[in-house]
Structure 1
């Protein structure tokens, strides 16, 4: 790289003003500028190459991390689904047990009511059985009384 002092020498007059100097080799300004800019441009190209390498490494690392994260997420989803199935089975079992318990309680209550009805029927049956012949006789007597006034009239022959 060019030193500041070398930069200033470009602006120093080479001769005193006056008559034209004898011909010499003209200074090649573009070559001087090219020589001056070549080292920083080489450093810039190296920096760009290094940046490109860093980006490629970062892309590779990001791809690897993404792949690992996807694999880990898939593992977590599979574990969550398995746990959901276990929870669902456990809940279904609890609901089934509760329903079975409720059904057993209902059956026991129905059995108790059936026993109560049977006992009531047993206790009432003798009294009702004693009343049935009397009720039948009353019914027959009422039928005879209803038919008794009709005996004196001729019947219509089934019309």
Structure 2
């Protein structure tokens, strides 16, 4: 049952030719539209099949590109790891060279300081020995001189 008067009247509109009134037969618009659009939908079916084929091909190509990119990324990571190991070795060698150079510089400075101290000691040693001997002589004083003077001086009473 039609829901509106317009729907009801629409069924009778295309039925009959202009001119004298005739018995009207309701037209079947749905079958007419379906018959009119059927060739278009048939053409679209081929396009739909082509579209599905293209989407599937695009998926396959995307998978191939992704797999190739994954392989390339793995190669780059491995290469970077190898280079990182080489860089670490180079940096380690540079640090060792720097450490060796610093150690050599410290040793040279220490040797220079030791030579300077030794030169100062060599200059002062004779004076310090002489001063020490004088101090000993002063401490021992005349006791030592008196004992030595008696046997060699000849002025004793023995």
Task: Report the TM-score, using the length of structure 1 for normalisation.
Answer: 0.67
Q: 1:43 to 1:132 in 2, by over 3 A?
A: same
Q: 1:44 to 1:19 in 2, by over 3 A?
A: closer
Which protein, 1 or 2, shows the higher relative CO under an 8 Å CA cutoff with sep ≥ 6?
1
Partner of 2:34: 34
Is there any run of 5+ residues in structure 1 with no aligned partner, and where? 1-10, 142-159
CA shift digits 1:14-66 (9 cap, x unpaired): 57414559xxx997655444332221111111111111111111011111101
Instruction: Tell me if 1:17 matches 2:17.
Output: no
CA distance in 2, matches of 1:19, 1:98: 115
RMSD: 2.8
Partner of 2:106: 106
TM superposition outliers: structure 1 runs of 4+ over 6 Å: 25-28
Is there any run of 5+ residues in structure 2 with no aligned partner, and where? 1-13, 142-158
Instruction: Tell me if 1:79 matches 2:79.
Output: yes
Q: How many pairs were matched up?
A: 129
CA shift digits 1:70-98 (9 cap, x unpaired): 11011112111211221221122112111
